[in-house]
């Protein structure tokens, strides 16, 4: 079995180690500034907007913190769950229901610890739904949506959850840090992108509902027996798709898959496609990781990445890709940045800005800037791109003519 890179513990290393890593990225382009929104968070991992408030997940505390308009942290959390935070485990993702202002549903992705609802005795990843109570400013009534997602070795948990343009919930799952070949199997959730409705049932056009041997999910509470199989898998063959991006311009999803020893990659998510782990990594076979891209006969059954870079050498380098956010129409940025993609590398401590065409073909590196340990990007309701640092601070990129 190949060694996982040291950055695989990217959510468990100390702040001192994070700060020791330097970046060669340059300052922000003219007119842009990196504005602090809030700080003092404890290993924050993901965030979501509710009007002027921002809900932020904390890895080890199991709390969802509330950032008030103006940037102050509310002293009491929105909710708290019992988590196992060893290595990359913990509270890793959050999403609000598209109909939140009517149903008050929000969703989190976390690794269960002792005291968690229906704890099995060993840590498992799960997606749960909570109901926001306006009068108290808290969320209650946990309902498990997808459960028993493997977390075998503590790392490679994935953890991003976002609602897609189709109204379904997309869930990124890593290979669990062991049993890497299971990323190729349809009878397990390891190394997959899942797609479910908010009650945990699967859309009828999910690709493997009728595939013999494909995994069936548990029947959610309130769903009658006999309503058909629930097959969550939408695409497979991922190593650790820790973050993914929604591109409004063409209704596509861009997945950042964290590599092993040589390559980091971005992929366009396509229904039913195989992304190759653990046979390929980036543009090369895993057995020959230092190939020259474009010179090998890449297997037709695997989807080729739209962008990749190496862990060392010349040009763009990094070790832990963090899929970012697009400056969509309606952003506050100048014309040359409309549609630009802001993404980062956690280990190399940089933010890069690239352009993509309508088919997600990646072109120029427009600009870059340093940022300590980025872990999550989102589009803000104010037209700015926000980025979260694991070191405890949330920023936004603001352009002033």
Peptide bond just before 122 cis, omega within 30 deg: no
pLDDT at 26: 61
CA–CA separation, 145 and 161 (whole Å)? 12
For position 345, what pLDDT does the model report?
A: 98
Residue 215 has pLDDT above 90, yes or no: no
Read off the pLDDT of residues 261-274 as tens digits, 9 standing for 90 and up. 999 999 999 999 99
- Given a contact cutoff of 8 angstroms between Cβ atoms, the answer to whether 155 and 9 are in contact is yes
Indicate whether 194 pLDDT > 60: yes
Predicted TM-score (pTM) of the model is: 0.93
Cα distance between residue 29 and residue 327, in whole Å: 15
* Phi-psi category of residue 355: left, alpha or beta, with phi > 0 → left and psi -120 to 50 → alpha: beta
Q: Which CATH superfamily is domain 6-399 in?
A: TolB, C-terminal domain (2.120.10.30)
Say if residue 225's pLDDT is above 70.
no
d(CA 128, CA 369): 35
The residue written with tokens 């872990």 in the block is 375
CA-based nearest residue to 47, from 380, 352, 322, 339: 380
For residue 334, pLDDT over 70 is answered with yes
Q: By C-alpha distance, which of 320, 316, 363 is closest to 341?
A: 363
Average of per-residue pLDDT across 276-283: 98
Q: Average of pLDDT values for 13-32?
A: 51
Q: Binning pLDDT at 50, 70 and 90, where does residue 222 land?
A: low
Predicted pLDDT of residue 216? 62
Q: What is the DSSP string of 117-180?
A: TT--SS--EEEEEEEEETTTTEEEEEEEEEEEE--SSSS-----EEE-TTSPEEEEE--TTS-G
Dihedral sign computed on CA atoms, order 308, 310, 313, 317: positive
pLDDT band at 28 (very low <50, low <70, confident <90, very high): confident
Output the six-digit token pair for 292: 């020259």
Residue 364 pLDDT greater than 90, yes or no = no
Question: Computed over its alpha carbons, how large is the radius of gyration of the chain?
Answer: 20
Confidence band for 125, pLDDT divided at 50, 70 and 90 = very high
What are the pLDDT digits (tens) for 37-48? 999 999 999 999
CA dist 374 and 394 (Å) reads: 9
Q: Render pLDDT for 167-183 as a digit per residue (tens, 0 to 9).
A: 999 999 999 999 999 99
Q: b vs e for 103-142, b when ≥16 Cβ sit within 10 Å of the residue's Cβ?
A: ebbbbbbbbbbeebeeeeeebbbbbbbbebeeeeebbeeb
Q: Can you tell me the distance from the alpha carbon of 262 to that of 282, in angstroms, rounded to the nearest whole number?
A: 8
Q: What is the pLDDT of residue 340?
A: 94
Instruction: State residue 158's pLDDT score.
Output: 98
CB 340 within 8 A of CB 355: yes
Residue among 254, 252, 234 at smallest CA distance from 322: 254
| Domain range summary for the chain, segments of one domain joined by + | 6-399
CA 394 from centroid of its chain's CA atoms: 16
Confidence band of 366 (pLDDT split at 50, 70, 90): confident
> Tell me, what's the pLDDT at 283?
98
Q: For 77-102, what is the mean pLDDT? A: 98
Residue 1: which pLDDT band, with cuts at 50, 70 and 90?
A: very low
pLDDT at res. 101: 97
Residue 150: pLDDT band with limits 50, 70, 90: very high
Mean pLDDT confidence for 55-62: 98
396, 37 Cβ separation under 8 angstroms: yes
DSSP assignment letter at 208:
T
């Amino acid at each position: 079995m190949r060694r996982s890179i040291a950055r695989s513990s990217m959510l468990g290393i100390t702040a001192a180690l994070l700060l020791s890593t330097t970046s060669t990225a340059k300052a922000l382009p003219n007119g842009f500034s990196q504005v602090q929104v809030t700080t003092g968070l404890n290993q924050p991992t993901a965030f979501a907007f509710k009007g002027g408030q921002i809900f932020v997940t904390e890895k080890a505390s199991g709390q969802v913190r509330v950032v008030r308009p103006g940037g102050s942290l509310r002293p009491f959390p929105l909710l708290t769950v019992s988590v196992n935070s060893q290595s990359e485990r913990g509270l890793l993702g959050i999403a609000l229901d598209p109909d939140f202002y009517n149903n008050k549903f929000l969703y989190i992705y976390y690794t269960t610890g002792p005291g968690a609802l229906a704890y099995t005795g060993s840590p498992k990843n799960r997606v749960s739904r909570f109901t926001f109570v306006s009068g108290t400013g808290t969320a209650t009534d946990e309902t498990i949506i997808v459960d028993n997602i493997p977390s075998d070795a503590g790392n490679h948990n994935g953890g991003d959850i976002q609602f897609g343009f189709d109204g379904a919930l997309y869930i990124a799952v890593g290979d669990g840090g062991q049993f890497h070949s299971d990323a190729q199997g349809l009878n397990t959730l390891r190394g997959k992108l899942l797609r479910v409705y908010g009650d945990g049932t699967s859309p009828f056009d999910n690709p493997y509902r009728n595939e013999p041997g494909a995994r069936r999910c548990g029947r959610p509470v309130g769903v009658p027996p006999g309503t058909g199989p629930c097959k969550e898998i939408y695409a497979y063959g991922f190593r650790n798709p820790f973050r993914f991006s929604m591109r409004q311009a063409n209704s596509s999803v861009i997945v950042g898959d964290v590599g092993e020893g040589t390559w980091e990659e971005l992929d366009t998510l396509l229904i039913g496609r195989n992304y190759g782990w653990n046979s390929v990594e980036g543009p090369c076979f895993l057995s020959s990781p230092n190939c020259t891209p474009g010179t090998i006969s890449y297997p037709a059954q695997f989807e080729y990445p739209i962008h990749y870079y190496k862990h060392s050498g010349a040009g763009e380098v990094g070790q832990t890709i963090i899929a970012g956010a697009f400056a969509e129409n309606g952003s506050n940025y100048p014309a040359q940045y409309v549609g630009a993609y802001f993404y980062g590398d956690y280990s190399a401590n940089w933010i890069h800005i690239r352009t993509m065409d309508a088919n997600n073909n990646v072109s120029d590196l427009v600009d870059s800037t340093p940022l300590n340990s980025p872990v999550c990007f989102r589009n803000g309701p104010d037209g700015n791109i926000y980025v979260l640092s694991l070191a405890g601070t949330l920023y936004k990129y603001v352009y002033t003519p």
